[in-house]
Structure 1
Amino acid sequence: MSGLALVSTFCPDRVGLVSAITGHLFDSGINLRDATFASLGSGAEFSAVCELPGGLSVDAVQASLSAVPELAGAQVKVTPFAFDPAPGPQTLVTHRVEVSGGDQPGLIARLSDIFTQFGANIVRLDAQTLPDRSGERYSLRFSVAIPPERAEVCLSAVANTAETLSLNCKTESL
């Protein structure tokens, strides 16, 4: 019987990192379920819910993953995963929302509060500071599950907030 584990790594970003991590996990007989990777400044973070084959402990996975050359100096953490790995209805993305423009302190808090008010669940969030001709541009992308009966008013509230702050807002229904 397999067990579930959460595998998390944080280290300097480099080419081949995802390949090295996922290749090592595959070679160890580990099946990936939900997984994410992100460059964060000059660092990189990888996290995945993993199905461990019988007899393979989280300590053994952590030790072997820590020995992968591409993860030299990385923070590697492998822990039992106690949640249901099957996605629930609140994780099914119904809309993507992108807001961009000048950096606004508190923007993520403000927009996430709007989603909360309308019963929307944030499934993924990505925020980046990007170079722009006029300096820097802040780009924020949400993948959200919005209840159908609240979608129109929720997206209007997000768009109105972005407009008030002189930001661009694009929405996509899936």
Structure 2
Amino acid sequence: MSGLALVSTFCPDRVGLVSGITGHLFELGINLRDATFASLGSGAEFSAVCELPGGLSVDDVQGSLSALPELAGAEVKVTPFAFDPVPGPQALITHRVEVSGGDQPGLVARLSEIFTQFAANIVRLDAQTLPDRDGERYALRFSVAIPPERADVCLSAIANTAEALSLNCKTEAL
């Protein structure tokens, strides 16, 4: 293995993006480690930590990805990955929390501050404005690592905040 790289793309959302990108990386002999994909408005973002085979540079990967038809008009960035690719204990998801209801400015900041107060690490965050029969509904999904001794009080604080804001809250322990 020659090294690790972070592959990041951002472009208009379209069918076939994930299969086009990951298929091309596979053809180059690249092994994917942690990877994410998200539609963001009418755009889409793909990021992955990749194990590059010997002899393949980050410039080679960036050039070949930039030439893919699926990535026409995309921002493509491939850089060396300097962090440990093995997740630490703070990246092991212990709970999923979903809060939904009317959009409220500052909601993500408010809820993320609560997680911080209880030494909980946000591993994944997904926020979407969704159509609803009453207009629009804002949905937040957190995947978090909460220290076991703080889980009950942290989740109670999140639920109490959601209730005070007239939002729905669901939690799931993993």
- Normalising to structure 2: TM-score of the pair? 0.99
Q: Does 1:11 align with 2:11?
A: yes
Shift of 1:100: 0.1
Instruction: Indicate the residue corresponding to 1:154 in structure 2.
Output: 154
Tell me whether 1:22 sits opposite 2:22 in the alignment.
yes
Unaligned 5+ segments in structure 2 are none
Structure 1 residue aligned with 2:132: 132
Deviations 1:64-114 (A, max 9, x none): 000000100100000000000001000000000000000000000000000
SS in 1 for 2:110: helix
CA offsets per residue over residues 138-174 of structure 1, 9 Å max, x none?
0000000000000000000000000000000000000
CA distance in 2, matches of 1:2, 1:124: 29
In structure 1, runs of 5+ residues without a counterpart are none
2:39 is aligned to: 39
Q: CA deviation at 1:117?
A: 0.2
Q: Which runs of 4+ in 1 moved over 6 A?
A: none
Work out the number of aligned pairs and report it: 174
**1:107 alignment counterpart:** 107
* Separation (CA, whole Å) in 1 of partners of 2:42 and 2:154: 34
1:172 maps to 172
Partner of 2:88: 88
SS of match in other structure, 2:70:
helix
SS of the residue 2:93 aligns to: coil
Secondary structure (helix, strand or coil) at the match of 2:19 reads helix
How many Å separate the matches in 1 of 2:55 and 2:3? 9
The corresponding residue for 1:49 is 49
Q: Deviations over 1:111-132 (max 9, x none)?
A: 0000000000000000000000
- TM-score computed with the length of structure 1 as normaliser: 0.99
Amino acid at match of 2:4: L
Map 1:62-101 to 2 at 5 A: 62-101=62-101
CA RMSD of aligned residues (A): 0.4
Q: Which residue of 2 aligns with 1:60?
A: 60
Cα distance in 2 for residues equivalent to 1:33 and 1:2: 15
Q: Secondary structure at the match of 2:21?
A: helix
- Taking the aligned partners of 1:57 and 1:70, their CA distance within structure 2 comes to 21
Alignment partner of 2:26: what SS?
helix
